[in-house]
Amino acid sequence: MLYLKQIQWELFRKKMRSVLLVVLFALLVICMSFYIRNIRSTQAALDDLAEKLPVTVHIVSGDGSRQGGLNILESQFFALSSAGVHDVRCTSSAAGAVSEDARAVDPFAGGDTSIAGANCVEATGIALPSFAYANGYGPSLFSGGPEPVCVVYKGFADEHGLSLGDAVTFPMYKVSRKSNGLSFLPLGDVELTVVGTFDALAASGEPTSMYVPIAWMQEATKSAGVEFTYGTTSATLDDPMRLNAFKASLPEMGFQEANPEASGQYGGSTVSVDDEQFIRTAEQLLQNLSLFQSFFVPFLLLLAGLAALVIFLVLRSTSRDMAVANSLGVPKRALFAVFFAAVFLLCILSCALASPVLVFAAGLSAGEALAVCGLFLVCAVVGIVPALLSILRFNTLDMLTKVD
């Protein structure tokens, strides 16, 4: 009964002291929440890294120098596209002769029409808004089945008097690159319906006159008895965190390391991984995370130490009151309990006052804020105990016979 009263007195009769402690404790709670938020946001950044910094892989020539204009075998394409990747993009090139003049050239030497098969708009390297489609068609035509349709360059369409819905018939040739130049394998006459146009050219590579669904090109090539190859193949890793495992599995998949002296400049025997930025960023984040994590316990101890120091400095002047109470017969352990309870209540109040800051400024969830407060209370207890014990070490008689 006296002790409850005394707790009340300690809290409310020394308002400035209580306010000071509450403010300082609240600052400690906020400090702690920002530290924890840092850990959490670093962790989150690391988790998001695969999306923010996707790691793309390309099939390149054996010497590592070329990503395009290759003769990538179907087996190589399947090896890569089934190795834990998504967003596979591929193209394949062909040529044709649409105008009478071009058809007249014999033997065929490239004609007037460069044709690319693509499995998605992104594989063309041309910005999406540059395309316009006929009714009922859209970008999905590339990923669809072997439909005999094409999307043509506006300039090419104008030149040849083509417009949406027209059918165009011409001899098509498979383009194959060798070290001694291009070779053209006849695929026979093909008939395509114009279902779209585009008015920009790819930033890199030769200008393309028309794009067709790669599935159709593949079918047209094979039905002419010619081996189908891809000109480019790239993909995005499903799990960049398993980058090393992916790289280690490349030889098993039949790919070799890039070798600048390698022959076969147009084969698709090597895979290059664009992981530099990912690795740099991931390492930085991992380093930060492990730094924050390894200093977490020292940080908590520091907080406990600060709490102890604050309590010691603020309550030291109360030791005379404690001595008076002790001389009246209040045991020191009861004084300990009274002051512990008073300070602990102030800690809880600080948490309550700080929690809006935790939720709205530090962006913690209610559960996390509660966890931070709980952790702070543990730190506070670790601080309160030694602070009170050292204050209570006074000699009652010395304290009371001091004349002020």
Partner 1 sequence: MSQISAQNVSFVYQSKYQQVQALTDVTCDFEEGKFYAIVGQSGSGKTTLLSMLAGLGAPTQGEVLVDGVPVTAADSEKHRRDNVSVIYQSFNLFPALNLLENVMYPMFLHGVPEKEAKPRAKELLDAVGLSEVDVRKLPSMLSGGQQQRVAIARALASEARVLLADEPTGNLDSENGQLIIDLLHRLVREKQYCVIVVTHDLNIAAGADIVYRMRDGRLTREASA
Sign of CA dihedral 231, 194, 219, 176: negative
Q: What is the dihedral of CA 378, 382, 384, 389, to 10 degrees?
A: 150
Least distance from C-beta 347 to partner 1, angstroms? Answer: 21
Task: At 29, list the tokens.
Answer: 């709670």
Q: What secondary structure letter does DSSP report for 128?
A: G
The residues pairing with 116 across neighbouring beta strands, listed in sequence order, are: 93, 211
For residues 96 and 105, the answer to whether their CB atoms sit within 8 Å is no
In the list 252, 261, 276, 404, the residue contacting partner 1 (rule: CB under 8 A) is 404
Using a 10 angstrom Cβ sphere, with 0-12 exposed, 13-18 middle and 19 or more buried, the burial of residue 373 is: buried
Report if residue 331 touches partner 1, rule: CB under 8 A: yes
Least distance from C-beta 340 to partner 1, angstroms? Answer: 18
In the list 140, 294, 327, 365, the residue contacting partner 1 (rule: CB under 8 A) is 327
CA distance 80 to 67: 14
Report if residue 5 touches partner 1, rule: CB under 8 A: yes
Task: At 280, list the tokens.
Answer: 């740099």
Report if residue 396 touches partner 1, rule: CB under 8 A: yes
In the list 204, 329, 367, 393, the residue contacting partner 1 (rule: CB under 8 A) is 329
Tell me how many residues contact partner 1 (CB under 8 A).
Answer: 24
Q: Enumerate residues 303-322 that contact partner 1 by CB under 8 A.
A: 320-321
Single out the residue of 149, 128, 292 nearest to residue 198, CA to CA. Answer: 128
Radius of gyration of the chain (CA): 37
Least distance from C-beta 401 to partner 1, angstroms? Answer: 6
Report if residue 400 touches partner 1, rule: CB under 8 A: yes
Q: Per-residue contact track with partner 1, 266 to 305, x per CB under 8 A? A: ----------------------------------------
Report if residue 109 touches partner 1, rule: CB under 8 A: no
Report if residue 16 touches partner 1, rule: CB under 8 A: no
Residues found near partner 1 in the complex (CB under 8 A): 1-2, 5, 9, 13-14, 320-321, 323-331, 396-397, 400-404
